[in-house]
């Protein structure tokens, strides 16, 4: 009786561990696409970085694969949604999505921002690519954007990196101007993104 009880408890515990550590399904993984793309605003472009030190270039060096830079300075999520079809023409394997900063600066209602970002993620996934969603803080004293980014990532099966500017924005040693990092800042962002990106490759 004692042996049966111990064996039963072990089985229950083992099952619980498996359930607890079971990873969430990543939509389109493994992807059959080819290109790796970074799609976003001026943080994707690399404003504030010296030549060769934009986020796509830094990450490309780390994974030893080319990453196409499809950033556009000043874009909001609405702008990104209007041109999202552009990146699907590249038969993407993984697309890193980085929008929201300009929405916050331009005081776009958060409901509109995240409706757009959700649509961007969905359209990219329809191309067969894995999406890596990159978060941005949507406030100074609090971050109302965080729960919305997480919700999209969970609902759509996207990989997610929380607030890429955390610990960087406001630090003069890491910033080129008030909103764009310098080389040191971009290097720290790349370090945050890298392990999550690798999960989608």
Residue-wise pLDDT for 81-116, tens only, equals 999 975 566 789 999 999 999 999 999 999 999 999
Q: How far apart are CA 113 and CA 75, in angstroms?
A: 12
Give me the mean pLDDT over the 30-47 stretch: 96
Across 34-43, 113-122, 138-147, least confident range: 138-147
Contact 47, 73 (CB under 8 A): yes
Sign of the CA dihedral with 122 first, then 159, 53, and 142 last: positive
Q: What are the structural domains of the chain?
A: 27-200 (3.40.50.1110)
* pTM for this predicted structure: 0.86
CB proximity list for 123: less than 8 A, separation 6 or greater: 81, 84, 85, 88
Contact 48, 185 (CB under 8 A): yes
Angle, alpha carbons 165-169-175 (nearest 5°): 110
Residue-wise pLDDT for 7-18, tens only, equals 444 444 444 433
Count of positions (residues) in the chain: 201
Give me the mean pLDDT over the 23-48 stretch: 93
């Amino acid at each position: 009786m004692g042996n049966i009880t111990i064996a039963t408890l072990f089985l229950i515990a083992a099952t619980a561990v498996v359930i607890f550590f079971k990873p969430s399904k990543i939509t389109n993984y493994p992807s059959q696409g080819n290109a790796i793309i970074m799609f976003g605003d001026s943080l994707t472009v690399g404003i504030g970085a010296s030549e060769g030190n934009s986020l796509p270039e830094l990450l490309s060096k780390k994974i030893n694969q080319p990453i196409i830079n499809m950033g556009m300075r000043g874009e909001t999520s609405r702008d990104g949604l209007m041109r999202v079809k552009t990146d699907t023409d590249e038969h993407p394997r993984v697309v890193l999505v980085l929008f929201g900063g300009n929405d916050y600066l331009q005081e776009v209602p958060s409901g509109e921002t995240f409706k757009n970002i959700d649509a961007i993620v969905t359209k990219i996934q329809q191309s067969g690519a894995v999406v890596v969603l990159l978060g941005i803080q949507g406030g100074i004293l609090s971050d109302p954007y965080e729960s919305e980014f997480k919700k999209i990532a969970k609902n759509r099966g996207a990989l997610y990196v929380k607030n890429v500017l955390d610990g960087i924005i406001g630090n003069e040693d890491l910033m080129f101007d008030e909103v764009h990092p310098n080389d040191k800042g971009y290097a720290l962002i790349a370090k945050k993104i890298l392990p999550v990106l690798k999960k989608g490759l």
